[in-house]
């Protein structure tokens, strides 16, 4: 007897996708993107956030959180390395944007490659000595790295220390699309585009050799090495790609916020992004997207209960993780499948 599990949204979604042919898939994808693109217009509905502006909430925290969670998922979900200092790459991207934007006259799109580049460079420099470590040790080192980056910008004169950097330029208009502070639809569409690019990149890599290598490293690193997988190389690649996404998010964040300060890049951010990944379903792109959306959106949606807000937020986290310990949309767990037959030697 087969009991259909209505809570298994992942299989339900995957089923629809698998049964669809190519034109149907394109139609589904385009419709979804179109609907997501319309989200900023839904400000008058039940989705509206009290106090904070709805379209701004969609960009930050929601959009940026999704982007960062996807980046962190490459590191934590795909190759199984616990990174507790992910905020460092976000900070590096943001400070690249702020410093270059105020000093060089380059615009956001021109600075973007630099922000991504510096974040990747930091990823390689941190990764080379530390990725030989595993598990808890790696977590501690990355946690330290996150704090080092924050303390450096807090105590340096070039970063204006705790005062932060103001007057970061907004992105230049793209044709008729104008970036405005009081109407952040265009920012949202830019974030969505970046999210889509990231998802596309992850999906491409996942079905190819890097994806296989990461999967093998996650499941048994020694065995992967014995099979001829250059594990250190692939771990650094995974780390660096995660850093690149974090850096890109940082550049956009600085350019949207117009002001950045060290207190925006605390350990809390790293932990919150990691929570997004775990809450949504570690290793599953769509789980991560859903998780980050909820964790980004919820605190602003319930802002009207002011003081009890974080209590409710925490309770939701605990309750959901209790009922769905693998996240809202967990990755496919084949190792648990019960297809075992009677075995006789």
Partner 1 sequence: MRLEIKDLHVHYGKIEAIKGISVVVNEGEIVTLIGANGAGKTTTLKTISGLRKVTSGAIIFDGQDISNVPAHERVDLGISQAPEGRGIFPGMTVLENLEMGKFHRKNRKAEMSEDLDKVYTLFPRLKERVAQAGGTLSGGEQQMLAIGRALMSRPKVLLLDEPSMGLAPQMIANIFRIITEINKTGVTILLVEQNAQQALQRAHRAYILETGNVVKEAKASDLLNDPAVREAYLGTGAHS
Task: Report the SS3 class of residue 275.
Answer: helix
Nearer Cβ to partner 1 (14/302): 14
* CA–CA dist 183, 170 (Å, integer): 13
Is residue 229 part of the contact set for partner 1 (CB under 8 A)? yes
Is residue 215 part of the contact set for partner 1 (CB under 8 A)? yes
Is residue 219 part of the contact set for partner 1 (CB under 8 A)? yes
CB of 222 to partner 1, least distance (A): 6
Question: Which stretches does DSSP call E strand in 236-294?
Answer: none
Number of shown-chain residues binding partner 1 (CB under 8 A): 27
* CA–CA dist 315, 318 (Å, integer): 5
Binding residues among 175-214 for partner 1 as defined by CB under 8 A: 209, 212-213
| Candidate list 29, 30, 181, 227; residue touching partner 1; CB under 8 A | 227
* CA–CA dist 316, 294 (Å, integer): 10
Is residue 129 part of the contact set for partner 1 (CB under 8 A)? no
* CA–CA dist 83, 241 (Å, integer): 13
Q: Contact letters (x/-) for partner 1, 147-166, by CB under 8 A?
A: --------------------
Nearer Cβ to partner 1 (32/219): 219
Is residue 335 part of the contact set for partner 1 (CB under 8 A)? yes
* CA–CA dist 323, 125 (Å, integer): 40
| Candidate list 124, 144, 225, 316; residue touching partner 1; CB under 8 A | 225
Is residue 132 part of the contact set for partner 1 (CB under 8 A)? no
CB of 340 to partner 1, least distance (A): 5
Which string of DSSP letters, residue by residue, matches 135-196?
HHHHHHHHHHHHHHHHHHHHH-TTTTGGG-B--PPPPPPBTTB---SS--HHHHHHHHHHHH
Is residue 30 part of the contact set for partner 1 (CB under 8 A)? no
Nearer Cβ to partner 1 (78/256): 78
Task: Report the SS3 class of residue 260.
Answer: strand
CB of 80 to partner 1, least distance (A): 11
Is residue 168 part of the contact set for partner 1 (CB under 8 A)? no
Burial class (CB in 10 A: 0-12, 13-18, 19+), 36: middle
For the chain, report the end-to-end CA distance as a whole number of angstroms: 30
| Candidate list 220, 305, 308, 314; residue touching partner 1; CB under 8 A | 220
| CA angle at 85 for the pair 79 and 90, rounded to the nearest 5° | 100
Binding footprint of partner 1 on the chain (CB under 8 A):
209, 212-213, 215-216, 219-220, 222-231, 333-340, 343, 345
């Amino acid at each position: 007897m087969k009991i259909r599990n209505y809570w298994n949204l992942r299989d339900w979604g995957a089923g629809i996708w698998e049964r669809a042919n190519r034109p149907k898939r394109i139609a589904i994808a385009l419709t979804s993107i179109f609907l997501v693109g319309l989200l900023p217009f839904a400000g008058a509905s039940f989705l509206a956030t009290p106090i904070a502006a709805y379209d701004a909430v969609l960009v930050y925290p929601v959009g940026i959180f999704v982007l960062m969670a996807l980046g962190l998922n490459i590191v934590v979900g795909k190759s199984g390395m616990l990174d507790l200092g992910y905020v460092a790459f976000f900070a590096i991207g943001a400070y690249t944007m702020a410093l270059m934007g105020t000093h060089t006259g380059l615009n956001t799109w021109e600075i973007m490659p630099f922000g991504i580049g510096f974040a990747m460079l930091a990823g390689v420099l941190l990764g080379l000595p530390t990725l030989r470590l595993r598990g808890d040790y790696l977590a501690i080192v990355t946690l330290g790295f996150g704090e080092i980056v924050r303390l450096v910008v807090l105590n340096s004169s070039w970063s204006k220390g705790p005062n932060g950097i103001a007057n970061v330029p907004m992105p230049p208009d793209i044709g008729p699309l104008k970036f405005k502070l009081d109407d952040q639809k265009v920012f949202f569409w830019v974030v969505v585009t970046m999210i889509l690019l990231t998802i596309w990149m992850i999906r491409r890599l996942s079905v190819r050799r890097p994806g296989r290598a990461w999967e093998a490293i996650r499941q048994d690193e020694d065995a992967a090495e014995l099979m001829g997988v250059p594990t250190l190389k692939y771990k650094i690649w995974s780390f660096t790609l995660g850093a690149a996404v974090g850096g890109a998010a940082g550049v956009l964040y600085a350019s949207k916020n117009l002001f950045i300060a060290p207190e925006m890049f605390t350990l809390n951010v790293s932990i919150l992004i990691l929570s997004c990944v775990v809450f949504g379903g570690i290793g599953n792109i769509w789980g991560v997207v859903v998780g980050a959306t909820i964790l980004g959106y919820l605190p602003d949606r319930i802002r009207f209960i002011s003081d009890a807000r974080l209590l409710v937020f925490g309770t939701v986290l605990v309750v959901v993780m209790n009922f769905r310990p693998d996240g809202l949309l967990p990755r496919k767990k084949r190792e648990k499948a019960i297809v075992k037959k009677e075995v006789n030697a």
